[in-house]
């Protein structure tokens, strides 16, 4: 019993990490010197928290040249990025993200459900016509690390 616990909790995870490392798992199959991360944001109450997380992430990585970040927004959180009624705090956060070359992606399904268009949002958003979660899954399949603060 104790041996099974040790194998399950310690040895197997290390073996998996080692095998993935040997397989050379990298975004797009080639290491370009950047960490590739997709942030998932759907909760309105976490918008400023996530914007600050991304800013801190870029600074902690040593600058935008060391990290490629995609922020995928869907659900209620997308309302925070509307030009009309945009808070100063969100506007400042988005400006920082654009300065860091962060890719801003809006869920096409959410846009349709909320009767919004890209011009209704702050500048810089692209649309994931296939849907936000579908885009997230595609990015993960391409090697992007997934974060949902």
Q: How far apart are CA 81 and CA 78, in angstroms?
A: 6
**Percent residues over pLDDT 90 in the chain:** 78
- Higher model confidence: residue 9 or residue 34? 34
- What is residue 32's predicted lDDT score, i.e. its pLDDT? 85
CA atoms within 13 A on the CB side of 124: 20
H helix and E strand count, the chain:
6, 5
pLDDT given at position 9: 56
33-147: which CATH topology?
Hypothetical Protein Ychn; Chain: A, (3.40.1260)
The pTM score is: 0.80
Kindly give the pairing relationship between strand 103-107 and strand 67-73. parallel
Task: Give tens-digit pLDDT for 24-67.
Answer: 444 556 678 899 999 999 999 999 999 999 999 999 999 999 99
pLDDT per residue over 64-121, tens digit each?
999 999 999 999 999 999 999 999 999 999 999 999 999 999 999 999 999 999 999 9
Q: Please list, residue by residue across 76-115, b when 16 or more beta carbons sit within 10 angstroms of its beta carbon and e when fewer do.
A: ebbebbeeeeeeeebeebbebbeebebbbbbbbbbbeebe
Length, in residues, of the chain: 149
Residue ranges of the domains in the chain? 1-26, 33-147
Mean residue pLDDT of the chain comes to: 87
Q: What is the pLDDT of residue 11?
A: 52
Higher per-residue confidence, 125 vs 6: 125
Average pLDDT for residues 113-137, to the nearest whole number? 98
pLDDT the model gives residue 109: 99
Specify the pLDDT at position 117.
Answer: 98
Query: How far apart, in whole angstroms, are the C-alpha atoms of residue 55 and residue 9?
Result: 34
Of all helices (H) and strands (E), which one includes residue 67?
Answer: strand 67-73
């Amino acid at each position: 019993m104790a041996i099974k616990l040790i194998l399950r909790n310690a040895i197997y995870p290390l073996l998996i990490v080692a095998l993935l490392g040997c397989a050379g798992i990298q975004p797009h199959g080639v290491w370009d010197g950047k960490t590739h991360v997709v942030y998932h944001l759907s909760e309105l109450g976490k918008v400023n928290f996530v914007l600050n997380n991304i800013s801190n992430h870029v600074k902690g990585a040593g600058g935008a040249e060391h990290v490629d970040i995609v922020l995928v927004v869907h659900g209620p959180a997308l309302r925070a990025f509307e030009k009309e009624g945009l808070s100063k705090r969100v506007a400042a956060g988005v400006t920082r993200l654009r300065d860091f070359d962060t890719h801003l992606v809006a869920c096409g399904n959410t846009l349709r459900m909320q009767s919004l268009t890209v011009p209704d949002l702050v500048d810089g958003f692209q649309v994931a016509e296939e849907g936000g979660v579908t885009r997230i899954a595609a990015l993960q399949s391409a090697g992007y690390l997934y974060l949902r603060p």
